[in-house]
A and B are shown apart, each in its own frame.
Chain A
Amino acid sequence: MKDFDDIFKERLEDFEMKLPATDRNAFLKRKAAREHAAKRRRSYLSLAVGIPAAAAIIMTLFMTTYMFTTYEPSFVDEFVVAEEDLENGVVYAADLMPEYPGGPVAMQAYLAKEMVYPEWAVKDSIQGRVLVSFIVEKDGSVTDPKVLKKAHPLLDEEALRVVSGMSGWNPGMLNGDTCRVRMTIPVNFRLY
Chain B
Amino acid sequence: MKTSAISERELADGCAASDREAQGELYARYAARLYALCFRYVGEREEAQDLMHDAMIKAMDSFRSFSYTGEGSLYAWLRRLTVNVAIDRLRELSRLRMVPLDSTVEPDMTASDDDDDSVSLIPASAMMDMIAQLPSVRRAVFNMYCIDGFSHKEIAAAMNITEKGSAGILAKARTQLRKSVNDYLKRSGK
Contact = CB atoms under 8 A, between A and B. Distances in A.
Contacts, number: 75
Interface residues of A, number: 25
Interface in A1-21: 1, 3-5, 7-9, 11-20
B27 interface: yes
A12 B119 contact: no
A54 B110 CA distance: 70
A31 B128 CA distance: 28
Interface in B119-148: 119-120, 124, 127-128, 131, 145-148
A119 interface: no
Contacts of B60: 31
Given A9-B146, A12-B147, A24-B27, A19 B57 contact: no
Contacts of A19: 31-32, 35, 49
Given A19-B31, A30-B53, A11 B127 contact: yes
Contacts of A26: 49, 53
A27 B146 contact: no
A75 B178 CA distance: 48
A64 B170 CA distance: 64
A17 B39 contact: yes
Interface string B138-169: 00000001111000000000000000000000
Interface of B: 20, 27, 31-33, 35-36, 39-40, 48-49, 53-54, 56-57, 60, 108, 110, 115-116, 119-120, 124, 127-128, 131, 145-148, 174, 177-178
Given A1-B108, A8-B177, A30-B53, 15 more contacts: A4-B115, A4-B177, A8-B131, A8-B147, A12-B124, A15-B124, A15-B128, A16-B33, A17-B32, A17-B39, A23-B31, A23-B49, A26-B49, A31-B60, A75-B20
